[in-house]
């Protein structure tokens, strides 16, 4: 997936009690799609909490944060409760979405985990920003760069017409 390409749609179980699809936000909200390695790991917890701490401000900019890992929805639920995460944590347990976004890799003995990565997707479903760690699961995105990418999004389709996406 490259900047300027259409983001693949998906539907995944979430911690908000129902399945969430990227297309749910088409014409309505910009999306920060944040992939992380695993629940209950220090760097991943920091990544999810960085977006948690920015969520109120992001939502004033018509942005929703969707965080994805290959952990089960049960793990996500406990992780969200312990860290007071209000935005949806999505379970890519079957690894389909990580594969679609080309962020699935093997780390050590663990086969098929999500690379730490962030995509900013506008209301038309177009990828406007991409960051993927290539060398270390300990690297984190530049959160200020993510916010800059959000500020740069302007003039996108505001309708709910599906032709927008």
Active-site positions read 44
Structure tokens at 150: 């959000």
Give strand pairing partners of 41: none
Distance, in Å, from the CA atom of 80 to the CA atom of 26, rounded to the nearest integer, reads 25
Structure tokens at 13: 């179980």
Helices (H) and strands (E) in the chain, counts: 4, 9
HSE-CB at 117 with a 13 A cutoff on CA atoms is: 25
């Amino acid at each position: 997936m490259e900047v300027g390409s259409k983001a693949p749609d998906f539907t995944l179980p979430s911690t908000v009690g129902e399945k969430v699809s990227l297309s749910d936000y088409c014409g309505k909200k910009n999306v920060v799609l944040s992939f992380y390695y695993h629940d209950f790991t220090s760097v991943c917890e920091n990544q999810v909490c960085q977006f948690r701490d920015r969520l109120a401000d992001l939502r004033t900019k018509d942005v929703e944060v969707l965080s994805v890992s290959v952990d089960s929805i049960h793990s996500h639920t406990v992780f969200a409760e312990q860290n007071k995460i209000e935005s949806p944590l999505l379970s890519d347990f079957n690894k389909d979405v990580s594969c679609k976004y080309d962020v699935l890799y093997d780390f050590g003995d663990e086969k098929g985990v999500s690379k730490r990565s962030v995509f900013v997707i506008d209301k038309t479903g177009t990828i406007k920003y991409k960051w993927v760690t290539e060398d270390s699961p300990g690297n984190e995105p530049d959160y200020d760069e993510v916010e800059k990418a959000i500020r740069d999004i302007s003039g996108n389709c505001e309708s709910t017409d599906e032709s927008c996406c």
